[in-house]
A and B are shown apart, each in its own frame.
Chain A
């Protein structure tokens, strides 16, 4: 592949004969995806061509949004990683619905209180637990509560929860940020220091 400056990439891709630049960019994306997704293992390698092709369409359709603050090839590889990882997460989580996630969670046997705890420690934990339950129930909207459970407590990707809640990743992150801010303010107002809470539960 011949080296190109950012300007040369843009000129070649927009020019009357973009085939060589397309081919070079495709090869670069495939190499980058193979290396970047190496840790994902199983079956990913067979899909890198499709991911690169889809990324190429997005890249060439959005050349005007490239502002030249990084190398063009870095910008292009960023888009390819986004295409690939969004799809890989969608596949990994495709069989999990929020309804099932919540039902499984409610049915699961949770760790009982540590029997080694002193009565004082246990009482403190129970007070904190009740107070946090109240804050979550009273301060957060139903959607915020769902997002908190799915993303923060159950570890589902933001993008996948967003898909199921008919929103997008950015909006769901902001919804979660609002929820975290509300809880932080409420904890401060109630005199619950996060450090003390963590000490009470982690040391227990």
Chain B
């Protein structure tokens, strides 16, 4: 049952929903290219908007991207 303090969380994600979104597999497929694009100084989300959108919405995939980016910057 939806509670009063669930509303903001739910409506925020509903508001950001697009008809076309890629899934986690398609995001992971492009994650290495996305990370290298970001490292090159280019706005990766502008270059690959569907991947950027997925990373904004999916905490699982975002954690992998952030760890990869940190590793690439630090090694």
Give residues in A with beta carbon < 8 Å to B. 28, 31-33, 35-39, 69-71, 74-75, 77-78, 81-82, 84-85, 89, 106, 110-113, 125, 128-129, 132-133, 136, 148, 152-153, 155, 157-159, 169-171, 173-174, 177, 180-181, 183-184, 187, 194-195, 197-198, 201-202
Contact = CB atoms under 8 A, between A and B. Distances in A.
Contacts of A110: 3-5
Contact of A128 (B7, B9, B19, B67): B7
What 10 A-B pairs are tightest by C-beta distance, nearest first? A36-B71, A194-B15, A35-B74, A32-B71, A36-B67, A70-B32, A180-B17, A170-B25, A74-B32, A110-B3
Interface string B55-68: 00011100110011
Interface residues of B, number: 40
B46 interface: no
A38 B70 contact: yes
Given A38-B70, A70-B36, 10 more contacts: A35-B71, A77-B68, A78-B28, A81-B64, A81-B68, A85-B64, A148-B10, A169-B24, A177-B23, A194-B11
Contacts of A111: 4-5
Given A69-B33, A181-B17, A153 B6 contact: yes
Chain B contact surface mostly: helix
Contacts, number: 135
Contact of B58 (A36, A77, A173, A198): A173
A148 B14 CA distance: 11
A71 B36 contact: yes
A136 B2 contact: yes
